[in-house]
Chain A
Amino acid sequence: MSGIETDVQVTPSLRAGGTVINDFSIEVATVNGSGSQTANTVLLRTIFQMGVPVSGKNLFPSNISGLPTWFTIRVSKHGYIGRKKDADVLVAMNPETAPEDVDKMRAGTLVVYDEPLNLRSRRSDLIFYPVPFDKLVAPVCSKPKLRPLVRNMIYVGVLAYLLNLDMAQAKVALNKQLGKKAAVLDMNAAALQVGYDFASEHFTKQDRYLVAPMNENQGKIIIDGNAAAALGCMFAGVTVVAWYPITPSSSLCESLIMYMKKYRMDKRTGKATFAIIQAEDELASLGIVLGAGWAGARAMTSTSGPGISLMSEFAGLGYYAEVPGVIFDIQRVGPSTGLPTRTMQGDLLQTAYLSHGDTKHILLFPGSVEECYTMAIEAFDLAEEFQTPVFVMSDLDLGMNNWMSDPFPYPEQPPKRGKVLTEQDLQRIGRFERYRDVDGDGIPYRTIPGSSMPAYFCRGSGHNERALYSERPDDYKRNMDRIARKFETARHRVPAPELVRDGADDVGIIAFGSSHFPTIESVDQLRTEADINASYLRIRAFPFSSEVESFVRRHDRIYVVDQNRDGQMRDLLRLELAPELAPKLRSVRHYDGLPIDARTITDQILAQEGITS
């Protein structure tokens, strides 16, 4: 893309040479609690509405106000929506971090900053645009208390001029954000314009970065993964929800409450067709889910790593007593309290085998916001079909950040309730025994309290096929073997892996969850930079489908991309696949709390391939 016409005064040298259009990233450094979210969202949406693929990530502290926060926007004409390692445009609004923010930038970075910070003196290889925010905000905002909030909108106006953003679209985006608050909208609209006017009067563009309209976003939506998952739960027909607030999962149930209140009240009576309970702790959350699941409801909870730890005991009960339930794990950085507001895929091993004894769980790995939605629906079906807890392994990056997506499909199929015993079943199988493997697939029939079907005694202590208490060795072993058989049946039923790129047989890449988009970009980088034609298989569920093993067999070297220190997915593959395949598995790891980026994946693979860049 070149030869773009803009209203911005661009220096001849840039126009001739290094202009970068629609392929850069913006980093906005502000103070937590300063109201920058509105400005950043308007900035993001403006670019989105111009048809340019875009993604936004909020890097925020575990704190209410006063600490540094960064919002990054990836602008990519190629449609890459993973994080870009280095920023190209910096908006430095936070006095605490501004010097460090500036020092870490690469040469040529466009820097908009609050003039009193005097950042220009720190570097000669960056392109600085000082803006007197306080002076500019005073005339547009008569209330001094509101000025710290409104001044953020000025940098959107400044960037609109410098990057050649469409001001009409910026106003549409602003209206979308603040349209219901007329007075606030007017002030922010004025601030937006003031920023634009100031930049046009005072700046001559010297940097390389521009946005030009494209037509890539027709029909697309922007949503975060937690809201997407909430929608999935609602359309799955969830009826009982129990949750305990924990970052980064809280917004899932908060979104669900909002949607359910709007779309799930009985029109005749005005009464709720659902119950959403803020429980006293995570133990109670999963307990409520299992009580509801046992009594026939579609029930779910959402949590993060520390909550998963607390749920261990009930998870074992759900597994052994065979009770359905859905648990969303929006992973954050551990161990312990860790970094509550940073992202990681660190709960993989603990969740796969959560609880004591021989326990294994079905895990789903959404790789996009659309899959947060579709896998939520799938999770309820699987939980009921297999009468077991099912974990949906999202993470903070996927869950709390905004992602572009195609609109979500309406679920065409009715919920799959699994083997809930009917009169016809009873006639066919002769007698009801709760834990008998009638069909050879390991899945027994269940009955639901309140129905006319036979009752049984559900328990986490040893039981025989009739659900009677038993400590007999043969009863215990028969039961455990059947549950293992059920898990084997699930292997063929869970979402199959996706062969994203089918390359040569030497290098294969395996990734999962939120590593997906950076991995796609990395595969392209490997091809263009090092002529490596790698295959890429995206794992979507545990237990692993047979395609996972055949993919590993087919390739000489497999790079497993993990957002954790120890390579947990690689270890899980080593545990679950044929032992002779273990030496093929190599690890690409990223665990600093920031979302993984393509460069990190590519560089680690190149290094292990012996190729130095």
Chain B
Amino acid sequence: MSTMTTTSSPRKLNRIGLDIAIYKGGKTTLCAGCGHNAISERIIDAFFEMGVDPRRVIKLSGIGCSSKTPAYFLGSSFSFNGVHGRMPALATGALLANRQMIAIGVSGDGDTASIGIGHFVHLMRRNLPMIYIIEDNGCYGLTKGQFSATADIGSTLKNGVVNDLPPIDTCALAIELGATFVGRSFSGDKKQLLALLKAAISHRGTVMLDVISPCVTFNDHDGSTKSYSYVKDHDEPLSDVSFIPHFEDMTIDYEPGTSREIQLHDGSKLVLSKLSEQYDPTDKLAALQVLHEAQKRGELVTGLIYYEPGRKDFLELINLVDEPLATLPLDMVRPPREALDEIMESLK
């Protein structure tokens, strides 16, 4: 019998002693190259690096490609994949039941800006302490590419139909409605997105992050010859609508205060404009102005756009006890017999 000594490099543990593997989830079933996968990766990194106990985290989502993603990160956390557009209600209920949990909600642009916009609006105005991420690709992926309400004016469907309605700017809307942490990023901007997510974990109040996340499949339409060329270059057939090309993940890194044009898989272009380091995110009017001016230029502002420190979050506002309501002892949730006697006496 011989002995063998193996040497392995020590695994990296975070500040609460957990391995990053704990923060991973199931294998993604989204298209290769989907921006949503990159966002899941950054969520894993952020929660790991911040040393958040996954058992303290609840994950919530609506319906759509984006809303599948909680299965792909923080696999040891509880998760609730609800109905289309109504994740804010589930999150509200869950946090009312247990205010000690850290909630991360993942939504899509269809989920948020169309079917769920009423619920999104009220989530923002309540300033519920949760991280709300829109994985924003301007289209409905799971139903094969229809426009969402964040689609740019003038963009086209595969069949050539032109979107003639202006997009809803979810960041401007969130700022207007009362969200206390509003940011925008790009799924491929690892550095910026990670920084925003880490800051988000530390914030008490509603964090609204709109993350532009290109759809590799349905940005790919007949109106985009570049897309055709791109795919042709990869020697893949394009006629089948269910075809999913295997793109590489998109990455981008650029300096604060600069703009950068990126070409999406279908060949269309996006201009990202990163806020400068001198930008003051606590000025609400300036934040809205920046968004409007960027929109006029056809650019998307990225970074921490608005931040309001110090405002009471919803759970503080309603004066809840510190302990989770879900597990309060009976003597705290059932008044004594004398209380019923008193009420009955008053009704005689």
Residues of the B chain whose Cβ atoms lie less than 8 Å from the Cβ of A275: 96, 318, 320, 325
> Nearest Cβ distance between residue B133 and chain A, in whole angstroms?
18
Q: CB-CB < 8 A to B325: which residues of A?
A: 239-240, 273-275, 292, 297
Given A411-B334, A450-B56, A457-B81: A239 touches B90 (CB 8 Å cut-off): no
Contact B82 A292 (CB under 8 A): no
**Which interface class (under 10, 10 to 19, 20 to 34, 35 or more) fits B?**
35 or more
With A234-B335, A297-B97, A449-B98 already in contact, the answer to whether A287 and B326 are too (CB < 8 A) is no
**Given A314-B86, A455-B76, A296 and B347 contact (CB-CB distance below 8 Å):** no
Restricting to A374-423, which residues have a CB under 8 Å from any CB of B? 407-408, 410-411, 414-415
Q: Determine if B97 and A271 form an interchain contact, defined as CB atoms under 8 angstroms apart.
A: no
Q: B86's contact among A235, A236, A283, by CB below 8 Å, is which?
A: A283
> How many chain-A residues does the 8 Å CB contact rule pick out?
70
Q: Contact at A288–B330, with CB atoms within 8 Å?
A: no
Question: When the two chains form the complex, which single residue of B320, B330, B344, B348 contacts A272, counting CB atoms closer than 8 Å?
Answer: B320
B residues within 8 A CB of A353?
none
In the complex, whether A284 has a CB less than 8 A from a CB of chain B is yes
Name which of A72-80, A141-149, A258-266 contacts chain B. A258-266
Q: How far is the CB of A114 from chain B (nearest CB, A)?
A: 33
Q: Which residues of A approach B to under 8 Å, CB–CB?
A: 219-223, 231, 234-240, 242, 259, 263-264, 266, 269-275, 277, 279-281, 283-299, 313-314, 317, 321, 407-408, 410-411, 414-415, 447-450, 452, 455-461, 468-469
12 additional A-B pairs beyond A237-B334, A272-B318, A407-B344, beta carbons within 8 Å, are A231-B340, A238-B333, A287-B86, A287-B88, A288-B89, A290-B93, A291-B82, A292-B94, A292-B325, A294-B90, A449-B98, A450-B55
Task: Provide the bound-state CA to CA distance between A421 and B56, in Å.
Answer: 18
List the 4 closest pairs (A to B, CB-CB), nearest first.
Answer: A287-B89, A291-B93, A296-B326, A297-B97
Q: Is the CB of A239 within 8 A of B333?
A: yes
For residue B66, give the distance in angstroms from its CB to the closest CB of chain A.
14
The contact sample of 18 A-B pairs, CB cut-off 8 A, is A239-B328, A240-B93, A240-B96, A242-B92, A242-B93, A259-B343, A272-B318, A275-B318, A277-B318, A280-B118, A290-B89, A291-B82, A296-B327, A313-B83, A408-B340, A410-B337, A460-B83, A461-B81
| Contact residues in B for A287 (Cβ distance below 8 Å) | 82-83, 86, 88-90, 92-93, 119
Give chain B interface residues in 181-238, CB to chain A under 8 Å: none
Return chain A residues, CB-CB under 8 Å to B247.
none
Flag if A450 contacts B344 (CB, 8 Å). no
User: What residues of chain A lie closer than 8 Å to B56, measured between beta carbons?
Assistant: 450
Contact across chains for B98 and A295 when beta carbons are under 8 A apart: yes
Report the bound CA distance from A91 to B150 in whole Å: 62
Assuming the A-B contacts A273-B333, A450-B98, A459-B81, are A290 and B321 also in contact, with contact meaning beta carbons closer than 8 angstroms in the complex? no
Residues of B within 8 A of A284 (CB): 86, 88-89, 92, 119, 122
Please measure, in the bound complex, the distance between the C-alpha atom of A287 and the C-alpha atom of B119, giving whole angstroms. 10
Residue of A264, A275, A285, A452 most packed against chain B (CB within 10 A): A275
**Across-interface contacts of B337 in A (CB, < 8 A):** 410
Tell me if B80 is interfacial: C-beta within 8 Å of chain A.
yes
B279 within 8 A of A: no
Contact A295 B83 (CB under 8 A): no
- Most A CB within 10 A of own CB, among B70, B81, B327, B347: B347
Known: A221-B344, A295-B93. A273 touches B83 (CB 8 A): no
